[in-house]
Amino acid sequence: MREVSRRGILGLGAGAVASLAVAGCSSPGSKPKPHETRQAKPIGDGSTSRGAQRPKEPKPERLARGQKPPQFVVFSWDGAGEVGNGLFPRFRKLAKDHGATMTFFLSGIYCLPESKKSMYRPPNNPVGASDIGYLTDEHIRATLENVRKAWLEGHEIGTHFNGHFCAGSGSVERWTPAQWRSEIDQAMSFVTKWRTNTGFKDLDPLPFDYHKELIGGRTPCLKGQENLLPTARKLGWRYDASSPGGTQVWPSKKQGLWDFPLQQIPFPGHSFEVLSMDYNILANQSHNSTNAPPANYPGWRKQATEAYIAGFKRAYETNRAPLFIGNHFEEWNGGIYMDAVEEALKHMADEKRKDVRLVSFKQFTDWLDAQDPAVLDDLRSYGVGETWRAKP
């Protein structure tokens, strides 16, 4: 869940293609094909492995001074559990059909059976406690299978940590850097030792070394970033997506990590803006109800779709700031927010726009790190909705 963007919070505006070399982030229409090698080698108890192949990571090209940047869009998913509603495979297929890669922020306890919940010791909370439910064994299996396939298709696996504590004395907002380290270590353990913890012997291992794969995450409710960052930096992470709301401008670093906030985007029919996440749009439409009267659904679906597209259009036509969109695999209000995300992605992936890159946070981080710092300084000089122009 996310903090709600309301009238008067963070104001308006942002906007303003060239080379990420299509040898860089996938351009719409391309369909990467996953491969696995016969040399995949198990790590530890065989929950993870190394040696599997997937589509080549894009090789980012440096922009020349005065060269227009591509329009980056990152779709990300909090929790990334498959609970039998088919949403994880639905969006994997959508991404494949449109040459997109995404970031899946996996919750560690989604790999831990509820019967073993006493293994989880959340900071400032009772042993085994969690503000999100543990998955059934069937859903753990489905989650592992989808995470495995997603990585082979070129997607990134980040972390959404574990118990999703957003309120009270146990809130992540109150955690110290050392407590964040404990939470991360436990999430890592649940993902890398699922075979031991579940007893599943008939599933293939996850095809990656999570200690190397994990370079960023998003905290529950966008809280606790300040004390997370020192720990994340020590672990060698490269970015964090936990800021509680930003604007459509080019990002900078915070405590040594790239800071990728969810952003304020236009909210059709309103004078205020909304945070670029399904939950925040829901909260402003149905006041936190996930099962509002169905008569509202068509209008709300249209409004949600148009909000994402308006955020994209503002950036694409002006400052070319990257657009970050966050979601959950949910069926709130009849599934209208999932439909909105799908329609928005299809619009952004229109083949007429050759300069749009639908990428993961990792791929965008790679691109940023390849750029001349002076070029990035130029891009950061543009405000929300300020039109990009070539500078000498």
pLDDT per residue as tens digits for the range 325-344 = 999 999 999 999 999 999 99
CA–CA distance, 359 with 348 (Å, rounded to integer)? 12
CA separation, residue 99 to residues 47, 135, 347, 369 (Å): 29, 30, 13, 23
Report DSSP state, residue 386: P
Of the pLDDT bands very low, low, confident and very high (cuts 50, 70, 90), residue 322 is: very high
Mean per-residue pLDDT over the chain, rounded: 91
CA–CA distance, 109 with 115 (Å, rounded to integer)? 12
Domains of the chain with bracketed CATH: 41-380 (3.20.20.370)
Q: What is the arithmetic mean of pLDDT over 118-139?
A: 98
Does position 37 have pLDDT exceeding 80, yes or no? no
Of the pLDDT bands very low, low, confident and very high (cuts 50, 70, 90), residue 40 is: confident
pLDDT tens-digit map of 69-103: 999 999 999 999 999 999 999 999 999 999 999 99
Report DSSP state, residue 271: S
Long-range CB pairs of 169-172 (<8 Å, 24+ gap) are 169/124, 170/122, 170/123, 170/124, 170/125, 170/129, 171/124, 171/223, 171/224, 172/219, 172/220, 172/221, 172/223, 172/224
Does position 22 have pLDDT exceeding 50, yes or no? no
